[in-house]
Amino acid sequence: MRTKLLASVLATALLAAGCATVPTQGPIRNSGQDGPAPAQDGIGVEARPPRQGAKPLQLVNGFLEAMSDSAAYDVAREYLTPEAAAKWDAESQISVYDQNSPSTVISRGRDKVQLSAPLIGTIDRRGSWTPAKRDAKVDWVFSLVQVEEQWRVTNPPQGVYLGSNQLEPRLAPKALYFFNPGKQLLVPDPLFLPINLTPGQAATQLIQELLKGPTSRLGNGVVSAAPPGTTVNVSVPVDDGVATVALSDTAGSLVESDRQKLAAQIAWTLRFITNRVRITVGGAPLLPDEPDELSLSDFGQYDPSVQDGRLKDLYGLQKGKIQRILGQDGAQDIAVKPIKESALYSGYNASAFAVNLRGEQGAVVTTTRNGSTIVASGLLDSANGANDEVKTIPTAGKVLRPTYDHEDNLWVLDRADSASPRLRVRVADGTLVSVRAAFGNRSPIAFRIAPDGVRALLVLRDKRSGETSVETATIQTNDATQLLLTQFRPLNLALDDITDASWNSLGILVAGKSAPGEKPRPWQVNVDGSQLRLLPGASSEFETVKIVSNTNLDTLPVVQDADKKLHWQKKDLTWVDMSDGAPAPAIDAVYPG
């Protein structure tokens, strides 16, 4: 029902529009924010039954090791009393704790053993990761009794506990893929599968989860081409590198365009198992006019990271005027070129600047002669720049930098410093649509929409403590067909004084400090809040205040330092100072998006 409501809203308003990776603090392996890289093979602790005569501390340690093996929960149940074994729902949740913390497992008397450690995050029944708050802990006291003179646990926790060093050997990051409301781009819905599954087992589980629909993270903000009730017949075998997906007859009702969309969802969801897929309905090909064997490359037009060459073009504001920044590729000298051919150049003194993903249009925040603020938008390249129509959006209070999605919808957040910040989106026909958003006790200081127009990235400041944080959210609808910014998910980063965040091909880039008093640096984190680490090649020679990026794989990260100088990172991870050490007017850089 919610999907239909969203489609209705978007049909009326023409609204249509950064992965899950292993949640530890080890090296990042993913190749894009839209989906994780395949985990490397690892060796976990093999589940073994209880040792005869094991003392309580030994028994609990053995239970913790056994419960880390998802293929052997029956072995783990041998550590429990018969009553506890019958009730234990091992698959309900995985709680990942820091196994490197001191005094993790401690005896508490003759028949009690306590597990106490920092909680890193949890994985729910479907495989979705949620980062833990910075001070969260696993704290569980196991009670034991003797059964036939052998110690056994009477009170297993909800789900299982997994030590951090067993995460990568045990779980493989994957993602389901659904469409944004305009069905132009795929949107990743990250989850984890046990790593010990065969390719066929993993493919079967992924397609089964795909046909269930999106997780709560995306909710009705995305759509699936699969008709309700569609199932996969028995399993998804993978033979000679080809996955065969036999769908139930329900999918036979789809029109040709939706068959193409469903095939794209399936191919992208299976992308880290195989790039080749055969899809049938009732024994016949899902796409009768296409080759029997489909490839991921057949659906590249739906790539969620939007690999458009214009995305790596850098722009900026200098003394209130819009500019192009040249020389990033090293093929020409570094220079700032005024965009004088645009009506946005001569007519406006701007405080913020945004460029659409095709580099054709721009939007500036500016103050009119009567003192009111507006967002003005128009073409960037035109032979008649002065005569181009400029559209305006009235604003109030503090206005954040606008942001574009892939379908040129322009998102504007104003009144950011008030008790009721306001989010609106101007869609393709010029209609300005309100988006309901409850920020609570937080003031937004940065807002970035993803190219899909579904996922949002925010930097928020707590009005009471002044602390800043990074959160993601999604655009959904309620039963009254109103657009909502909802499903706020704190990334719970171990950073202080966060000043900026941006989508990136590897997830999210964040400007912040590792501890109070430390220098602000550029950090990299996965879209689910996992694997916070310094951006590879991060320099200590300058402070990071603003950070500029987007989802294009070839986009070079750009940093504005405390002196408002620009630095960008080359592909060899070294940094270029835009001014080359010479005094230069400050410039605020932006990439399309």
Distance CA 89, CA 96 (A): 17
Low-confidence ranges of the chain (pLDDT < 70): 1-45, 383-387, 580-584
Q: Which residues contact 451 (CB under 8 A, 6 or more apart)?
A: 17, 185, 304, 305, 306, 357, 405, 406, 503, 550, 551, 593
**pLDDT value of residue 38:** 36
Structure tokens at 559: 């940093």
- 3-state SS assignment for residue 89: coil
Distance CA 496, CA 398 (A): 23
**106 φ, ψ (degrees, to nearest 5):** -135, 140
Nearest to 128 by CA among 426, 432, 489: 489
Distance CA 551, CA 563 (A): 27
Distance CA 248, CA 261 (A): 17
Q: For 192-214, how does the pLDDT look when each residue is reduced to its tens digit (9 = 90+)? A: 999 989 999 999 999 999 999 99
- Helix%, strand%, coil% for the chain, nearest 5: 15, 35, 45
- The residue type found at 468 is T
Q: What is the 3-state secondary structure (H, E, C) of 538-551?
A: CCCCCCCCEEECCC
**14 φ, ψ (degrees, to nearest 5):** 60, 35
- The residue type found at 380 is L
Q: Which CATH number fits domain 309-590: 3.40.50.2300, 3.40.462.20, 3.20.20.70, 2.120.10.30?
A: 2.120.10.30
Q: What is the DSSP string of 415-474?
A: -TTSSS-EEEEE-TTS-EEEEEE--TTEEEEEEEE-TTSSEEEEEEEETTT--EEEEEEE
Return the residue matching tokens 């190219």. 451
Q: CA angle 490-528-187, nearest 5°? A: 115
Q: For 208-251, how does the pLDDT look when each residue is reduced to its tens digit (9 = 90+)? A: 999 999 999 999 999 999 999 999 998 999 999 999 999 999 99
Q: Which residues contact 345 (CB under 8 A, 6 or more apart)?
A: 321, 322, 338, 339, 385
**pLDDT value of residue 331:** 75
Distance CA 100, CA 393 (A): 53
The b/e string for 217-248 (b: 16+ C-beta within 10 A; e otherwise) is: bbbbbbbbbbbeebbbeebbbbeeeebbbbbb
Where are the chain's structural domains?
309-590
**pLDDT value of residue 13:** 35
**pLDDT value of residue 18:** 35
C-alpha dihedral, 301 to 303 to 304 to 305, nearest 10°? -110
Using only the alpha carbons of the chain, give its radius of gyration: 26
**pLDDT value of residue 25:** 35
CA distances from 378 to 27, 277, 356, 388 (A): 42, 44, 10, 7
Dihedral sign from CA coordinates of 124, 127, 130, 135: positive
**11 φ, ψ (degrees, to nearest 5):** -70, -35
- 3-state SS assignment for residue 317: strand
